[in-house]
Amino acid sequence: MRIPIAVLSFLLVSTVFTQGEVDTLNFDGGVELAHYNYLNSSMSITEKEQGGFWARYEEMEKNQDEIKANQRSLKKSLLYGFMKSDEEIISIVQQIAELDMAKIKVKRDFIVDCVGLLDAERAIRFSLYEKEFKKKAEDFK
């Protein structure tokens, strides 16, 4: 009985402290700097770990940006769908779906790499902190 209570207490305390960090985000240096500082502090990334983590993060972001650009291009080609055959439209839709899967794979690979760079707990928390930061950044705009 003590272990579930201890785990629940840990999660509750970490949630309370996390919410405090989000409320005190400093966007004076811009969104990118705030993002960098927020993830470093929230995930307790040491200076030694930062180099590998952020290099891998930037690689993931670059790959996802390329995939998104390809998707936009394919979606634009559907704007004039009346000029394409049904087979061409089906092919384009399939390519868009495959690119959706590629985005997920890139993110998954990054999370798996984070387990090696950081540890399993922080790798799992990454997605939570990333979503939390993006929500706060949207509220800032």
- pTM equals 0.73
37: which 2 tokens? 């500082």
Angle at alpha carbon of residue 47, lines to 12 and 139, rounded to 5°: 50
**pLDDT tens, residue by residue, 55-95:** 999 999 999 999 999 999 999 988 876 788 889 999 999 99
3-class secondary structure, 27: coil
Q: Is 30 left (phi over 0), alpha (psi -120 to 50) or beta?
A: left
Q: What is the dihedral of CA 33, 38, 41, 42, to 10 degrees?
A: -160
- Provide the token pair at 12: 């509750």
How much is the average pLDDT of 96-117? 95
Closest by alpha carbon to 118, among 16, 15, 42?
Answer: 42
The predicted structure's pLDDT at residue 7: 41
Q: With bands split at pLDDT 50, 70 and 90, how would you rate the model's confidence at 141? A: low
pLDDT digits (tens, 9 = 90+) for 9-26: 444 444 444 444 444 577
Considering only CA atoms, give the Rg of the chain. 20
Q: How far apart are the first and last CA of the chain?
A: 45
Retrieve residue 111's tokens. Answer: 């999370």
